[in-house]
Amino acid sequence: SQQGEEDPQALSIQEGENATMNCSYKTSINNLQWYRQNSGRGLVHLILIRSNEREKHSGRLRVTLDTSKKSSSLLITASRAADTASYFCASIPTDKLIFGTGTRLQVFP
Amino acid sequence: DTEVTQTPKHLVMGMTNKKSLKCEQHMGHRAMYWYKQKAKKPPELMFVYSYEKLSINESVPSRFSPECPNSSLLNLHLHALQPEDSALYLCASSTPRTETQYFGPGTRLLVL
User: What are the tens digits of pLDDT across the range A39-98?
Assistant: 878 999 999 999 999 999 999 999 999 999 999 999 999 999 999 999 999 988 777 889
Strand A98-99 with B31-37, pairing: unpaired
Task: Verify whether the Cβ–Cβ distance B106 to A40 is below 8 Å.
Answer: yes
Kindly tell me if the per-residue pLDDT of A4 is higher than 60: yes
Positive or negative, the CA dihedral A86, B21, B48, B99 is: negative
- Asked whether the beta carbons of residue A43 and residue B90 sit closer than 8 angstroms, the reply is yes
- Output A3 or A101, whichever has higher pLDDT: A101
In whole angstroms, how large is the CA radius of gyration of chain B? 13
Beta-carbon-side half-sphere exposure of residue B84 (alpha carbons within 13 Å) = 2
Condensed to tens digits (0 to 9), the pLDDT of residues B45-98 reads: 999 999 999 999 999 999 999 999 999 999 999 999 999 999 999 999 998 767
Residue A43 touches partner B, C-beta closer than 8 Å? yes
A88 touches chain B (CB under 8 A): yes
- The residues, any chain, with a CB within 8 Å of residue A59's CB and separated by 6 or more, are none
* H or E element at residue B87: strand B87-94
Q: Smallest Cβ distance to B106: which of A2, A42, A96?
A: A42
